[in-house]
Amino acid sequence: MDATDAAALWEANADAWTRLSRAGYDIYRDQVNTPAFLAMLPPVDGLDGLDVGCGEGSNTRQLARRGARMRGLDIAPTFIRHARQIEQAEPLGIDFQVGDGMALPFAGDSFDFVTAFMSLMDMPDQGRALQEACRVLRPGGFLQFSILHPCFVPPHRKVLRETDGSARAIEVAGYFDEMDGDVETWWFSSLPHEQREQVAPFRIARFHRTLSSWVETICQAGLVIQHFGEPCASVETAQAFPIVADTRVAGIFLHVRAVKPKAPFL
């Protein structure tokens, strides 16, 4: 699958994704993934930042609230339209624009940091996207991104449950079967079944890579890995939102922070 086809899928998802996520149905994002990402993030107050694959702008706005001067970029025009609408209603000084993460429309050395919340894994050429992030970073700047955990969310993942419905183990398979655009369909897990009859499922292109492939690609892009994060729900969060309790058995997300060296390697 090429970038045009992948972009078309996201454009088709954008309206429903925006409406449902803003209604609170993206519980894995709101209760586990984004809070852990922000907890791992270095201070960004006063820095120039770029959010690649910003979607409808929810996470970009959280970065702006931390004092960063933000730009948000997404390949789906409908996502950018929704992001601009909320920015107009509640200004945080964010410039949202349509663009491709694999061909960033910015000069080199333009940003102090780049973020990508669950977006790099959806790009056909992840190596090119990482190279572009490195290119637009100033020396010493960092890229922080989140993806589905390659080890625990390979092509096949199934939660094995006790008789009371609690998560007992995670069954995984196909880890070494790298994917190049297989289309998967799903809803947010918390979306009630009666609403699923009224909205089509999301159609997402998967580009699964092994953990070693990700590490190699990051290093080949010229970045130095600084930190890994594997978030899981706290006991309290799992009790309040049982749907995310499986993250306490095996991770769903992997967070990576990598730095552009101040001087090139010899």
265 domain-assigned: no
Tokens describing residue 68: 């960063």
pLDDT at residue 2, rounded to an integer: 85
Q: Other CB atoms closer than 10 Å to residue 89's CB: what's the count?
A: 7
pLDDT at residue 263, rounded to an integer: 77
CATH classification at residue 107: 3.40.50.150
End-to-end Cα distance, the chain: 36
Under a CB-based contact definition with an 8 Å cutoff, are residues 96 and 63 in contact? no
pLDDT at residue 266, rounded to an integer: 53
Name which of 184, 35, 175, 187 is nearest 117 in CA terms.
35
266 domain-assigned: no
Number of domains in the chain: 1
Alpha-helical runs (H) found in 23-96: 27-28, 34-40, 58-65, 77-89
114 domain-assigned: yes
Tens of pLDDT along the chain (266 residues) come to 888 999 999 999 999 999 999 999 999 999 999 999 999 999 999 999 999 999 999 999 999 999 999 999 999 999 999 999 999 999 999 999 999 999 999 999 999 999 999 999 999 999 999 999 999 999 999 999 999 999 999 999 999 999 998 999 999 999 999 999 999 999 999 999 889 988 999 999 999 999 999 999 999 999 999 999 999 999 999 999 999 999 999 999 999 999 999 876 65
Task: Give the dihedral sign, CA 202/61/255/189.
Answer: negative
Q: Classify residue 59 by burial, with Cβ atoms within 10 Å: 0-12, 13-18, 19+.
A: buried
pLDDT at residue 265, rounded to an integer: 60
218 domain-assigned: yes
Residue 133 φ/ψ, nearest 5 degrees: -60, -45
Q: What range does the domain containing 203 cover?
A: 3-259
Q: What is the CA radius of gyration of the chain?
A: 18
146 domain-assigned: yes
pLDDT at residue 1, rounded to an integer: 80
pTM: 0.96
22 domain-assigned: yes
pLDDT at residue 186, rounded to an integer: 93
